[in-house]
Amino acid sequence: MADTPALPAVNREWHLLSRPVGWPKPEDFALVEAPMPTPGEGQVLVRNLYLSVDPYMRGRMSAAKSYVAPFELGKVMQGGAVGEVVASNAEGIAVGDHVLHFFGWREYAAVDAKNAVKVDPDAAPLSTYLGVLGMTGLTAYAGLLRTAAFKEGDVVFVSGAAGAVGSQVGQIAKLKGASKVIGSAGSDEKVKLLVEEYGFDAAFNYKNGSVSEQLRDAAPDGIDVYFDNVGGDHLEAAIGSLNQGGRIAVCGMISVYNNTEPAPGPRNLARLIQTRGRMEGFLVGDHYDLQPQFVQEVGPWVASGALKYRETVVEGIENNLEAFLGVLRGDNTGKMIVKL
């Protein structure tokens, strides 16, 4: 094993104590002191530098069967993280290397080398590997281009458009030749950001009135693609404005994640019949084959400034939970990152 620098005696990590009912409460979680992990054979010890908090984590806090296993009660939670290797028992990864892995919500992590991806801090800021060049970026790319089958000339509507995924969807659509890109967001400040910085053709604050009416005003001739991050009234509005042959990619439905009762579905689903519309859910994990193509195409856009991104950075492991709750509230502009 390579020489290990002096390490703290304990490792702070967030545990799930009870499964939230409705909105998560601080007492459902605890920041605990645990023994410092020791890397076994084929493992590396990583000092986490940046942690990711994402809406999908709310689903893992419930016991309901889903596409990914629930967090275990009384144990450390998981999430994307980027860090520096401080000890290595693995071929091909050395002390001082930086890696991307999925053992966040803690300061240090012992990670199987096969589950750690080396990243280059000189090619892009480390935090971008959790966002614009990471899972959220690939989510936007795969959902728009593969699931929604975007084509040049489409009119595209994106909900949650100032978030990490939504902001990238709109910009990729513009760079790929959309005739019009419309976004919805939850504040006038975010609406301004969408139009002035991200290049959306139109945007509206969904809190300022009927989503259906605001969408019709922004897209009087209808939409061809809807990228759904919100669900609820946004999905109903999109179905109402869908053109013939329109496509809806369902990425997330943050409006219903904390509901304790099932939310009613869109009242106008029958409209999919007359429009021959298609609505399809997707998970980024089914599209990792696009990763090389994604990095090859999007990386230069990020480097040149053609594709812009924002990050909301919260400092300190002690604020990891508050950062996560902030994502559910919509406090973030762009990707929410915790810096340790």
Give per-residue pLDDT as tens, 128-176.
999 999 889 999 999 999 999 999 999 999 999 998 899 999 999 999 9
Which one is predicted more confidently, 69 or 152? Answer: 152
What Rg value do the Cα atoms of the chain yield, rounded?
21
What pLDDT, in 10s, does the model give residues 28-58?
A: 999 999 999 999 999 999 999 999 999 889 9
- Average pLDDT, integer, range 195-201: 97
- Grade residue 1 by pLDDT with cuts at 50, 70 and 90: very low
Describe the chain by its helix, strand, coil percentages, rounded to 5. 35, 30, 40
pLDDT for residue 311: 93
Q: Return the exposure string of 299-310: e unless at least 16 CB atoms fall within 10 Å of the residue's CB, then b.
A: bebbeeeebbbb
Distance of alpha carbon 251 from alpha carbon 55, whole angstroms: 11
End-to-end CA, the chain: 25
- Average pLDDT, integer, range 60-64: 90
Per-residue tokens: 174: 């513009």
How far from 333 is each of 50, 183, 320, CA to CA, in Å? Answer: 17, 14, 17
77 contacts 71 by C-beta, under 8 angstroms:
yes
Nearest-5° angle of CA 311, CA 154, CA 226? 55
Distance of alpha carbon 309 from alpha carbon 321, whole angstroms: 23
What's the DSSP call for residue 268?
T
Distance of alpha carbon 245 from alpha carbon 258, whole angstroms: 33
Question: Position of tokens 């053992």?
Answer: 103
How far from 338 is each of 83, 120, 134, 205, CA to CA, in Å? Answer: 12, 19, 15, 27
SS (H, E, C) 45-60: EEEEEEEECCCCHHHH
Report H helices in the chain. 57-60, 135-142, 164-175, 188-196, 211-218, 232-241, 271-275, 291-304, 320-329
Per-residue tokens: 128: 């971008």
The two beta strands, 81-88 and 98-101, are: antiparallel
Of 54, 49, 7, the residue nearest 252 (C-alpha): 54
3-class DSSP state for residue 120?
Answer: coil
Cα–chain center distance at 335: 7
Beta bridge partners of 29: 16
Of 256, 274, 272, 276, the residue nearest 264 (C-alpha): 256
Beta bridge partners of 31: 14
Distance of alpha carbon 157 from alpha carbon 286, whole angstroms: 23
- Average pLDDT, integer, range 260-269: 82
pLDDT for residue 122: 85
What pLDDT, in 10s, does the model give residues 91-128?
A: 999 999 999 999 999 999 999 999 998 988 988 889 99
